[in-house]
Amino acid sequence: MRWFWIDRFDEFVRGKRATAVKNVSLAEEHLHDHFPGVAIMPNSLIVEGMAQAAGLLVADAIEFNRRVVLAKVAAAEFYFDAVPGDTIRFVAEVIDLKPTGSLTKVTSTIGDRLQGEAELFFAHLGPGEGVPKLFEPEELLRWLDQMHIYDIGRDEAGQPLARPDW
């Protein structure tokens, strides 16, 4: 099963920052299975949303030439639980970008309250470096189109992002 843990991007500045949104719905099975009788979003899944927002930002910054894999959660702290009806806003920033890996900082907010923050390190792996191919580039491009990255995405100069020709 493949899934995105974010519903849309509201901001996407190539190589710098991205803002993504996740709406927490009572219809999500994990809310009933994880803590029976208490419908809260597990923080591990909030980290997943953080990683997806930051990972797509990093993958775009390196032009999708290598696989971007969450290698380490360097730090994470959460201040309160997300519950059904909440809208989680993830703000991801690239702190350091090198050929072999990247460091990002991601915050999650609900309304105007800081819900969590994390530092995430991603490894950039080439073919044959221990990571199976998870999807074809065309499939990823369709997903990114559905999340409207190329509608709202901008480069550092404020120009619209060009859609890759895969």
Q: Rounded to an integer, what is the distance from CA 146 to the centroid of its chain?
A: 15
Which tokens sit at 142?
A: 């369709």
Cα–Cα distance for residue pair 132/134, rounded to 1 Å: 6
Query: Is the CB of residue 120 less than 8 Å from the CB of residue 68?
Result: no
Mark out the alpha helices in the chain (DSSP H runs). 30-33, 43-61, 137-146, 149-152
Q: Of the listed 30, 34, 124, 148, which one is catalytic? A: 34
Cα–Cα distance for residue pair 76/119, rounded to 1 Å: 7
Strand 67-78 and strand 101-110: the pairing is unpaired
Greatest Cα pair distance in the chain: 49
Catalytic: 124? no
Which tokens sit at 114?
A: 């800081």
Residues marked active site are found at 34
